[in-house]
Structure 1
C-alpha cells in the first residue's frame, strides 16, 4: 500500500519538476554570465555575494531580481562597480525588464546588444563614465521601454533619430554629456513622453516644432546648449508642462503668446538669450508660476497688468528694457524671496505687497525710474540680506525700520532724493558690509552709532549729501573699512585722529567739505591706502605732514584748495606709486621734491602757491615760471639756503666716498669671483622704503651677498637665482635678491617686472625695494617672504598640514584681491599673464603676495586685449584654453589662471586632471571632499561654508568660454563675504555639480 502511494506521489511531482527544468537551466546559464562579467570588473566588493557555490544563484544575489527562476532585473545603483559592459552577454537575458547601474564607475561604450532586450522597461546608466556615441539601435526598444537615463556620462555625437521609435517611453534623460548636432524632429513622435532633459550638452540649431506634439510632457529642459532661432509657438500645446528651462542659449525672436496656455507651469526660465519684444498678455493665465526668470535679454514694454505675481517666489527681470510699473501683486501672497528688476526703465511706485514682504531675501531695483516715499513704501524685512534701490527717484526720509533688518549685508540707496537724517539704528546692522547713501539730500550729523556697531563694514559712502557737524571719533572702530567717501557735504571741525586706526583703508575721500585744523599725522599709518587720498576743497591749514611719504602704495593725492603752508615735504618723493597729485591753490613755499614724478607732474598741480620756487631748473617749476630758489633774499631764505647747501654737500661727500670705497670693493671681489662685472655700464636705481628706513645701494647688495656667493642662494631656475641676505645698517633688514642669468633677450622681461612693480602697490603684491641693470648684471631687491611659495609649501606634507583651511581660504582671498586690484584699480589695467602657485609667496604670517611680473603687460586704455607677437607667455597647466588658438591675452586669461591656483590650494596639488574632467558630467559628479586636500581634516561649520564658496568661485573661473568667467572684482567680493551662505547639504555629500548650481544661483540673485 505504501509503495502504491509513493508511486502516485512521484507521478504527481514529475510534471511539475519537468516544467521547472528549463528555468533552472536558464538560471544557471545566467549566473555563469554574471560571474564572467563580475570577473572583468576592477571593483566589485559590493557584489561579493555572487558566488558559484551559492545555492540561490543567481536569484538570491544582491541586485538580481528574478521571476520563476529567470533574471528580470539587474539593479546595482551606486554599487561601486568599475569596469565596462562589453563582457556581459545580454543575449542570455531575454526576459530582462530593468537595468539600473547608475552611479558607478562604468566606462567604455554602451553595448549595442542591449537593443535586443525586447522586454526592457527601464535602462538607467546615468552618472557613470560611459563614452562614445548613442547607439542608434536603442530605437528598437520601442514597445516596452518607459525610461532611458544616460545622463552625466561622456557621450558624444548626435541624438539618433531612431530614438523617435521609442513609442512607449515617458522619461528620456540625456543631460550633462557632450552630445552635439541638432535635436531630431523625430522626438516629436514620443507622444507618451513626460520628462525630456537634454540640458548641459552642445546641441545647436533650432528647437523642433514637432516637440509640440508631446502633450503629456511635464518637464522640458534644454538649457546650457547652443540652440538658436525662435521659441516654437507649438510649445503652447504642452498643457501638462510644469517646468520649462531654456536659459543660456542663443534663442531670438519674441516670446510666443502660446506659452500662456501652460497653466500648470511653475518654473519658467528664458534668461540669458537674445529674446526681444514684450511679455505676452497671455501670461496672465500662468497662475501656478513660482519662478519667473527672464533676465539678460532685450525684452521691452510693460509687464501685463493682469499677470498674477502674487504667489511667485523668484522673479528675475534684470538687464532688459522693461517699462511701466512693477506688478501690483508682487508678494501679495507673502511668498516672494528674490526680486531683481535692475537695469530697466520701470516707473511709478513700489507695489503695496512689497511693504511687508517678510519672506524677502534679496531686493534689487537699481537703475530704474521708480518713485515713492522711502519711509512709507518699505517695511521691516527679517530675512532681507541684500537691498539695492540705487539710481531711482525715491524721496522721503530713511526710516529707522531699516535698522531692524538685522540680516542685511548690503544697503545701497544712492542716487535718489532721500532727505532727513541717517538713522542711528543703522548702527545695529552688525552684518552690514556695504552702506551706500551717496548722492541724496541727507542732513544732520553722521551718527556715532555707525562706528560702534558696523563691525563688518568695508565700504561706507555718504558723499554728495548735506551732512554737517564733525566726523565722530567712533569711525576709528570700523577696522574692516576699505572704502570711505564723505566728500561733497558740509562736515566741519578737524579730521579725527582715530581715522588712523582704519588700517585696511584703500581709498579715502573727504573733499568738498569744511574741515579745518591740520592734516592728522596718523594718516601716515594707513599703509594700505592705494586708490585715493583726497582732502581737497576744505579749510585745512598747517604743513603737509612728512608722514604722508610713508604711503608708498598711494596712486592719487589731492590736497588742493586748502590753506596749507610750509614746504612740500621731501618725503613725498618716496610715494613711488603716485600717478596723480594736486597741491594747487594753497600757500606752499620752497622747491618741489627732487624725483622723476615731480619733474614730470603737470604745472597745474602746483599753481597758485606763491611761495614755491624753482630748485631743479625744469619741469613744472619752469612751466610755472617760478623764481630760482637762490634768488629769495629774506633772512628765512638765507637760512634755508645754508640748510640746503649743507644737505646737498654732506650727502654728496658721502656719495663720493662710497663710490670710491665701492670701486675698491668691486675690484676686489671681481678678482675673487667675477660675478658682478663691468658695473659702469649701467645705473643703480635705489628706492627709499618706509619698511627699510633707508635707501638701498649697489654697495649694500655687493657687501651683503659677498659677490653673490652660493651660500646665500636659496633657489635657482632657468631665469636666475634668488639670494636671502641681510642688508648692512638700517636695522639689518632681510631681503630677497633675484639675480637674473645673463641671457640674451631677458632685458624685456626684467624691464617689464620693474615697470609693473614700480607702478603698482598693494598689500598682497610683493614689494620691490630696488633694482640694478647693466649689460652684464641684472638683479631685483624684494621683500623677503619667509615661507616661500605656495607650490613649495604644498609639496611638503608637514608644511601643508600647517596650512589649515582658514589660511588657505584667506590666501585665495588675498590673491583675488591683488589680481582684482591689477584689473580694476590700475589705470590702465595690468595683466599678470603668469599667475601660478610658484608665483604666490607667503610671509612668516602666511600672508600671500603675488610675485614675478616678468610677463606682465599694461593694457592699452582703448583695447581689452594684449596681443603678443612672440612666444606664448605663462606656465603650462595654468594657461587659459583660449591661448591655445589665440595670442590675445585678456583679463579673463588671468581669471582662469587664478581659478587653477585656487583649486590647487584647496586640493593640495595641481588639479590638472580634474580640470580636464570638469566639462564632463563625470568630472562634475566627483564629491568635493574627494577633491580637497586629504592631509587636512574636512572643514566644519562656517569654515566649511567658506571652503565651499572658494571652490565654487574657482570652478566659475575655469569656464571654457572667457566671456562666461566672472571678473576678479566680483570674485574678490564673494570671497570677502563675512557670512558665506550655509551648506546646502552635508559636506560629505556635496558634488562639484552642486557647486556649479550654487554659482549659477549666485549669478541669478546678484
Structure 2
C-alpha cells in the first residue's frame, strides 16, 4: 500500500495495534498517541522501514522495546513517553543513526544507558527521565558532539528522576551546544567535574537531590548564559562570590544544603532574579538580614517567612513600612529583642488576621498606632514596653478588640469604681474621709511621676480627671483611660491639639499646644 501518513491521535481507540498496520511499508508518520491502545509492541514493527516519525506516547503500552526496532533506520523522532515500557534500552539503538529526538520519559526502563548511544550523532534531544535507569552515566554520552556534516548537536539531556550513581562524566565538556542539563533526583556523587564550566551555552542546570561532595565548583561562574540553577540538597562549604557573574540568572535554588558561612554580598548583583519567593525561605532559621528590594519578585509573601521573625535574637526597630502595602495577613515577630515604636504602617494594614508581637521591647500608643481590623482574630502585644507601666497606681491593660462596629479596651477590674462616682454619691462621700482623699492624691502623683520620669520616652496622660481615676476595694487609686496619652520626644517640641476634659485640663492649653510633663501633671479639684 502507498499510505504514508497515519495520524490517529486524540481518539478513544482501544485494544492492541492491529496486525495489518505493519504491512504499511511506505508509512513515514505514525501517530496513534493519546488513545487507549495497549498490549506490547510486536516484532513486526521492524517492517515499517520507511518510518521517519513514530509517536506512541500517552498510552498503556507494556513490555520492552524490541530488537526489531533496529530496522527503522530512517527514524528521526521516537516518542515512547508516558507508557508502561520496561526492561533495558536495547543496544540495537545504535543502528538508528538518524535519530534527532528520543523521548523515553515516564516509563519503567531499567539498567544502564547503553554505550552504543555514542552512534546517535544526529541526536538533538535525549529524554530518558523518570525511569528506573541506573549505573554510572557512560562517558560515551560526551560523544554526542557536533558531527562534521551538522550545524548543531545535542541541546537537551534530561536524566532526572532515575537511579544513576557515580560521577558526572568528564566527557560532558564536549556537549558545547547543550542548553538544558537535568541531573536532579539521582544518586550521583563525587565532586562536580571542573569540565562543567565548558558548557557555555547552558541555560538550565538542575543538580539537586544527589550526593555530590565538596563545595560548589568555582567553574559554575563560567556559565554566563544560565537562567535557572538548582543546587539544592547538595554540597558543603560557602557560596562562591563569583556567582555574581551569572548575570542572566532568574532562579537560584540552594535550600536544604550543607552550605555554611555568610551569603556573599555579590549575590545582590543578580538583578534578574524573579518569580515568587519560595516557601523554603522559612527554613533559613539563622538568617539575620534579608533584603529583597528592587527585584522582580511577584506573587504573595510566603507564610513561612514568619519562621524568620519569631523566637530569634532579632534586634533594633521594625521597619516603618513592614506592612508591605497593607497586604499582611499574619504578622508574627514575638520573642525577640525588637525595640522602638510600633510601625505606623500597621494602622493601614486592614487585612491583618493574627498579630503576635509579645515578649519584645516595643512601645507605642495603642489608640494611634493601631487601626480598624475587620478580619482580626487574635492579637498579642503582652510583655512589651507599652505594658511595662507596671506601677501599682496605673491600671493594667490586658488587650483590646477592634471592629468596624465595636471597639473596646480590656483593663483589670477595680471594685471601687471611679473617683467621679464616689464624689457624686452622698453616702460614699461621707465614707471617703480626708485621709483617703490625701492617699488618692498621693497615688495619682506617684503614677504621674512614674510616667514622666521613669518611662522612656516619657508618657503624658493628657486627661487626668476624676472619671479616669479608679479605686480598688482598699481605696488605692489607679490612673486609667490613656486614649489622649502621647509619648514625648525629649529632644524636640511636642505639639498636640486640645485633648482632655474641660475644667480638668491644664491652663497651659489656653495659650499654647505643646505638651510637657508639667502640663500633664496638674490635677484640678
Normalising by structure 2, report the TM-score: 0.64
Q: Does 1:230 align with 2:37?
A: no
3-state DSSP of counterpart to 1:390: coil
Structure 1 position 334, deviation (Å): 0.8
Q: Does 1:615 align with 2:400?
A: no
Distance between the aligned counterparts of 2:139 and 2:287, measured in 1?
A: 43
Question: Which residue of the partner structure matches residue 431 of structure 1?
Answer: 272
Distance between the aligned counterparts of 1:508 and 1:554, measured in 2?
A: 17
Aligned pair in 2 of structure 1 residues 222, 642: CA closer, same or farther (>3 Å)? farther
Question: Which residue of the partner structure matches residue 346 of structure 1?
Answer: 188
Alignment match of 1:563 (pick from 361, 364, 379): 361
Question: Which residue of the partner structure matches residue 458 of structure 2?
Answer: none
Structure 1 position 248, deviation (Å): 4.5
Question: Which residue of the partner structure matches residue 257 of structure 2?
Answer: 416
Structure 1 position 527, deviation (Å): 0.9
Aligned pair in 2 of structure 1 residues 579, 249: CA closer, same or farther (>3 Å)? farther
Structure 1 position 361, deviation (Å): 0.8
Cα deviation digits, residues 233-254 of structure 1 (max 9, x gap): 2344335154353345332423
Distance between the aligned counterparts of 1:300 and 1:641, measured in 2?
A: 85
Distance between the aligned counterparts of 2:130 and 2:469, measured in 1?
A: 64
The structure whose residues are more often helix, as a share, is 1
Question: Which residue of the partner structure matches residue 355 of structure 1?
Answer: 197
3-state DSSP of counterpart to 1:326: coil
Question: Which residue of the partner structure matches residue 427 of structure 2?
Answer: none
Cα deviation digits, residues 466-500 of structure 1 (max 9, x gap): 657xx78xx65458566779x9xxxxxxxxxxxxx
Cα deviation digits, residues 168-221 of structure 1 (max 9, x gap): xxx33315453613321222233454x232154424112431344226245342
Which consecutive residues of structure 2, in runs of 5 or more, have no partner in the other structure? 146-153, 388-396, 404-408, 418-439, 449-460, 471-478, 484-525
Cα deviation digits, residues 569-599 of structure 1 (max 9, x gap): 6975833445665546545531221269xxx
Cα deviation digits, residues 84-133 of structure 1 (max 9, x gap): xxxxxxxxxxxxxxxxxxxxxxxxxxxxxxxxxxxxxxxxxxxxxxxxxx
Aligned pair in 2 of structure 1 residues 231, 356: CA closer, same or farther (>3 Å)? same
The answer to whether the 8 Å contact 1:438/1:465 transfers is no
Question: Which residue of the partner structure matches residue 167 of structure 2?
Answer: 325
3-state DSSP of counterpart to 1:178: coil
3-state DSSP of counterpart to 1:403: helix
Question: Which residue of the partner structure matches residue 509 of structure 2?
Answer: none
Aligned pair in 2 of structure 1 residues 416, 206: CA closer, same or farther (>3 Å)? same
Question: Which residue of the partner structure matches residue 104 of structure 2?
Answer: 270
Distance between the aligned counterparts of 2:465 and 2:68, measured in 1?
A: 88
Aligned pair in 2 of structure 1 residues 578, 375: CA closer, same or farther (>3 Å)? farther
Distance between the aligned counterparts of 1:641 and 1:378, measured in 2?
A: 74
Alignment match of 1:526 (pick from 317, 321, 325): 325
The answer to whether the 8 Å contact 2:306/2:333 transfers is no
Cα deviation digits, residues 701-760 of structure 1 (max 9, x gap): xxxxxxxxxxxxxxxxxxxxxxxxxxxxxxxxxxxxxxxxxxxxxxxxxxxxxxxxxxxx
Distance between the aligned counterparts of 1:436 and 1:259, measured in 2?
A: 47
Q: Does 1:216 align with 2:49?
A: yes
3-state DSSP of counterpart to 1:360: coil
Aligned pair in 2 of structure 1 residues 404, 302: CA closer, same or farther (>3 Å)? same
The answer to whether the 8 Å contact 1:411/1:434 transfers is no
Q: Does 1:592 align with 2:399?
A: yes
The answer to whether the 8 Å contact 2:80/2:105 transfers is yes
Question: Which residue of the partner structure matches residue 23 of structure 2?
Answer: 189
Question: Which residue of the partner structure matches residue 508 of structure 2?
Answer: none
Number of matched pairs: 411
Question: Which residue of the partner structure matches residue 540 of structure 1?
Answer: 338
Aligned pair in 2 of structure 1 residues 254, 423: CA closer, same or farther (>3 Å)? same
Distance between the aligned counterparts of 1:241 and 1:372, measured in 2?
A: 45
3-state DSSP of counterpart to 1:373: coil
Q: Which is bigger in relative contact order (C-alpha 8 A, separation at least 6)?
A: 2
3-state DSSP of counterpart to 2:244: helix
Distance between the aligned counterparts of 1:582 and 1:277, measured in 2?
A: 57
Aligned pair in 2 of structure 1 residues 338, 429: CA closer, same or farther (>3 Å)? same
The answer to whether the 8 Å contact 2:106/2:130 transfers is yes
3-state DSSP of counterpart to 1:523: coil
Aligned pair in 2 of structure 1 residues 199, 192: CA closer, same or farther (>3 Å)? closer
Distance between the aligned counterparts of 2:265 and 2:400, measured in 1?
A: 45
Aligned pair in 2 of structure 1 residues 207, 220: CA closer, same or farther (>3 Å)? farther
Question: Which residue of the partner structure matches residue 516 of structure 1?
Answer: 315
Question: Which residue of the partner structure matches residue 435 of structure 2?
Answer: none
The answer to whether the 8 Å contact 1:330/1:336 transfers is no
The answer to whether the 8 Å contact 2:63/2:86 transfers is yes
Cα deviation digits, residues 409-448 of structure 1 (max 9, x gap): 1122233233455444444433221598999xxxxxxxxx
Structure 1 position 560, deviation (Å): 3.8
Aligned pair in 2 of structure 1 residues 366, 580: CA closer, same or farther (>3 Å)? farther
Distance between the aligned counterparts of 1:631 and 1:366, measured in 2?
A: 69
Aligned pair in 2 of structure 1 residues 515, 323: CA closer, same or farther (>3 Å)? same
Structure 1 position 338, deviation (Å): 0.3
Distance between the aligned counterparts of 1:476 and 1:304, measured in 2?
A: 42
Distance between the aligned counterparts of 1:175 and 1:631, measured in 2?
A: 90
Question: Which residue of the partner structure matches residue 172 of structure 1?
Answer: 5
Aligned pair in 2 of structure 1 residues 393, 405: CA closer, same or farther (>3 Å)? closer
Aligned pair in 2 of structure 1 residues 477, 226: CA closer, same or farther (>3 Å)? closer
User: What is the RMSD of the two structures over their aligned residues, measured on CA atoms?
Assistant: 4.5
Cα deviation digits, residues 819-866 of structure 1 (max 9, x gap): xxxxxxxxxxxxxxxxxxxxxxxxxxxxxxxxxxxxxxxxxxxxxxxx
Cα deviation digits, residues 369-402 of structure 1 (max 9, x gap): 22232242413223221111122124344232x2
Distance between the aligned counterparts of 2:169 and 2:94, measured in 1?
A: 20
Alignment match of 1:404 (pick from 245, 251, 259): 245
Distance between the aligned counterparts of 1:404 and 1:461, measured in 2?
A: 27
Normalising by structure 1, report the TM-score: 0.36
The answer to whether the 8 Å contact 1:187/1:211 transfers is no
The answer to whether the 8 Å contact 2:233/2:258 transfers is no
Aligned pair in 2 of structure 1 residues 594, 629: CA closer, same or farther (>3 Å)? farther
The answer to whether the 8 Å contact 1:295/1:317 transfers is yes
3-state DSSP of counterpart to 2:172: coil
Distance between the aligned counterparts of 2:465 and 2:299, measured in 1?
A: 40
Aligned pair in 2 of structure 1 residues 423, 438: CA closer, same or farther (>3 Å)? farther
Q: How does 1:384-533 map to 2 (within 5 A)?
A: 384-400=226-242, 402-433=243-274, 463-465=284-286, 477-478=294-295, 509-511=308-310, 514-524=313-323, 526-530=325-329, 532-533=330-331
Aligned pair in 2 of structure 1 residues 336, 594: CA closer, same or farther (>3 Å)? same
Structure 1 position 552, deviation (Å): 2.2
Structure 1 position 511, deviation (Å): 4.6
Aligned pair in 2 of structure 1 residues 394, 254: CA closer, same or farther (>3 Å)? farther
The answer to whether the 8 Å contact 1:197/1:221 transfers is yes
3-state DSSP of counterpart to 2:252: strand
The answer to whether the 8 Å contact 1:437/1:463 transfers is no
Of structures 1 and 2, the larger Rg is shown by 2
Aligned pair in 2 of structure 1 residues 565, 642: CA closer, same or farther (>3 Å)? farther
Distance between the aligned counterparts of 2:59 and 2:369, measured in 1?
A: 59
3-state DSSP of counterpart to 1:245: strand
3-state DSSP of counterpart to 1:564: strand
